[in-house]
A = this chain, B = another copy of it.
Amino acid sequence: MESLKRVVAILEEEGVVEPVGPLLLFRQPQQLQAELDLSLGDAAKEDELWDCLKKITRHSVKTRHPGFLNQLYGGLDEYGLAGELLASALNTNQYTYEVAPSLTLCEMEVIKRALSLVGFNNGDGIFTPGGSISNMYGLVLARYKKYPEIKEKGIAGMPPFVIYTSQDAHYSMTKGSHWLGIGTDNVIKVKTDQRGRMLPSALEEAIELTLAQGKVPMAVNSTAGTTVLGAFDNFQEIADVCEKYGIWMHIDGCWGGSVVFSKKHSRLLKGIERADSFSWNPHKMLGAPLQCSMILVKEKGLLNAANRAGATYLFQQDKMYDVSFDSGDKSVQCGRKTDALKLWTLWKARGDSGLARAVDDTMHLSRYFLEKIRDRIGFKLVLEEFQCTNICFWYIPMRLRNKTEDQAWWEQVHAVAPKLKEKMVLDGCLMIGYQPLDHKNLRNFFRLVITCRPERDEAFIDSVIENIDRLGRDL
C-alpha cells in the first residue's frame, strides 16, 4: 500500500487531480528524453524511481486543468477515478461471474440502465476498450445478422459489402473496415449538409448506386455528435432509409450520446431507439476515466451468437452458479477490463439528475462561449448555429482584420492556428485543438471542446477568450 500512498502524494504535490499551476510544462521530445531518465535495465533505487515518476507527472498534460479544451475528453470525474482505482486494485477480468461477482452485477446494472436510456427495451450490451472497437462491434453484428454463415465461412466468395457513413463521421469506420475485410473503398462517405449532418437523400442515392453495382449494403453508421463540428444526424430520416432498404443502422454516439441524460437536449437524439446498435463513450463528455465505452444492441442474444467460441476452460457448464451470468462469450476479447465499475461509481454518486445537470451546464457554457465570440473582433465562427459542446472558430490576428478574405488571406489564417496553438502550449494556460476540414474547404480552425466539469463557469470562459486574444492578437 506504500506505493499507492506515494502516488496519491505525487498527485497532490503536482496538482493533477486538483490542478494548480500551468496546464503543461512543454518540452520538445528529445529534450524531454534527456531530462527524464526512462531507461530500463537495472532496478532503480526507490528514491530515483519516485523522483522519475514525479518528473513524468510534471511533464504530463494536466487534462483535468480547466484550460484543457483540446480533446473530446478531460475533466476527469473524481468519483469515476475512485471507481477506476478500485477496479485496478481488484485486478480481475470481466469474463466470468466466478472471478468478478460484484463487478459482473455492476456491468449488468449499468448496461441495463444505458439500454433503457437509449430505448432498447430488450437489448444487450458490453463494455469495450474504446469507441473504435465499439463501432467495429456494430459492423460485425450487422454482418452477422445478415449472413450468419460468415462467422464460419468468411467473406471470400461473397459479393462486396458496403458501409455508409458521413463525410463528417469518425475515422474508426475506415480503420475498422480494413480489419473486418470490408475494405476502405467500400466505406461510402455520404455527403453532409453545411453543419455536418448526413443528407438522407444522399444516403439513399448511395444505396441505390451500390445496388446497381451488385454490391451489398451492409450497415449505415450515423453519428450523434461528430468529432469536429458536433453535428447530430437526423436519426428519424436515416432510420426511414435503413428500414426502406432493410439495412442495419448503427449510431456512433461515442461523443454526443451523453446528452441522453438531459431533458433539455435529448431531443438531439430523437429516433435513436430505431437504430440496431449504439456506441457510447462516457469517458468523453461525462468525464469517466479513459477507457469507458459501451456497445448497446437492440436484439438480445446477438452479441453472444456472433462472438461465442465456448472455450471450455473458462465457460464450463458444470459450474456451481447460473452460468448465464458469465458475460465473456459476448466479447471478441478474452480478458476484458472491468470498466463498468468506474461508470457505476460516477453514476451512483451523481445520479441521473446530477448527470443531467452536468450536461446542461456544459451545453450552456459552450453556447455562452459561442455567443460571446459571435460578434467579437478577432473571432470568426465556422458555424453560426449551436450544435454541441465543440465550438469551431478561426482566430484572426490584428494584421489580418478588415482585409479581403481572398485565397491569400485564408492561407495566412490557416497558418495562424498552429502558431497560436504553440503559444498556448508554451504559455501553459490553454490547449485547444485545431484542424482543417478539407471536404468542406475549411482551412485550419480551432475546435474548443468543453466536457462536464463543475469548476468551469462563465467567468472562466471569459478568461479563455481573453487569453486567446492576448496570445493571438499580434501573431
> What 20 additional pairs, Cβ within 8 angstroms, besides A41-B351, A53-B86?
A7-B86, A28-B321, A29-B104, A29-B322, A29-B325, A39-B109, A40-B344, A41-B352, A60-B90, A60-B103, A61-B100, A73-B91, A76-B91, A130-B333, A154-B185, A155-B155, A157-B160, A174-B309, A175-B307, A318-B418
Contact with B along A5-17 (1 / 0, CB 8 A): 1111011100011
Whole-angstrom distance between the Cβ of A376 and the nearest chain B Cβ = 24
Contact A3 B82 (CB under 8 A): yes
A25 and chain B: residue at smallest CB distance: B101
Q: Which residues of B contact A176 (CB under 8 A)?
A: 332
Contact B154 A89 (CB under 8 A): no
Known: A183-B155, A228-B313. A333 touches B60 (CB 8 A): no
Q: Is A81 an interface residue (CB 8 A)?
A: yes
Q: Which residues of B contact A306 (CB under 8 A)?
A: 178
Q: Is A43 an interface residue (CB 8 A)?
A: yes
A422 and chain B: residue at smallest CB distance: B320
Whole-angstrom distance between the Cβ of A65 and the nearest chain B Cβ = 11
Contact B7 A82 (CB under 8 A): yes
Q: Is A345 an interface residue (CB 8 A)?
A: yes
8 Å CB interface, A268-284 against B: 281, 283
Contact A131 B101 (CB under 8 A): no
Contact with B along A39-73 (1 / 0, CB 8 A): 11111100001001101110111011000001101
Contact A89 B351 (CB under 8 A): no
Q: Is A244 an interface residue (CB 8 A)?
A: no
Q: Which residues of B contact A120 (CB under 8 A)?
A: none
Q: Which residues of B contact A27 (CB under 8 A)?
A: 101
Q: Which residues of B contact A154 (CB under 8 A)?
A: 155, 160-161, 177, 181-183, 185-186
The complex places the Cα of A180 from the Cα of B175 at a distance, in Å, of: 12
Q: Which residues of B contact A60 (CB under 8 A)?
A: 90, 92, 100-103
Known: A8-B5, A320-B425. A140 touches B56 (CB 8 A): no
Q: Which residues of B contact A183 (CB under 8 A)?
A: 150-156
The 10 closest A-B pairs by CB, nearest first: A181-B181, A154-B183, A43-B351, A129-B129, A313-B435, A155-B181, A3-B82, A156-B160, A320-B422, A56-B102
Contact A40 B113 (CB under 8 A): yes
Stretch in A30-38, A359-367, A399-407 touching the partner: A30-38
Q: Is A304 an interface residue (CB 8 A)?
A: no
Whole-angstrom distance between the Cβ of A246 and the nearest chain B Cβ = 20
Q: Is A295 an interface residue (CB 8 A)?
A: no
Stretch in A199-207, A231-239, A334-342 touching the partner: A334-342
The complex places the Cα of A333 from the Cα of B60 at a distance, in Å, of: 22
Q: Is A209 an interface residue (CB 8 A)?
A: no
The complex places the Cα of A113 from the Cα of B40 at a distance, in Å, of: 7
Contact B42 A352 (CB under 8 A): yes
Contact with B along A299-320 (1 / 0, CB 8 A): 0000000110101111010111
Contact A438 B312 (CB under 8 A): yes
A135 and chain B: residue at smallest CB distance: B334
Contact B335 A130 (CB under 8 A): yes
Q: Is A349 an interface residue (CB 8 A)?
A: yes
Q: Is A467 an interface residue (CB 8 A)?
A: no
Whole-angstrom distance between the Cβ of A165 and the nearest chain B Cβ = 13
The complex places the Cα of A415 from the Cα of B319 at a distance, in Å, of: 11
Whole-angstrom distance between the Cβ of A348 and the nearest chain B Cβ = 5
8 Å CB interface, A167-189 against B: 170-172, 174-186
Q: Is A257 an interface residue (CB 8 A)?
A: no
Contact B132 A333 (CB under 8 A): yes
Contact with B along A83-120 (1 / 0, CB 8 A): 11110111111000111111111100110010000000
8 Å CB interface, A124-144 against B: 129-133, 136, 140
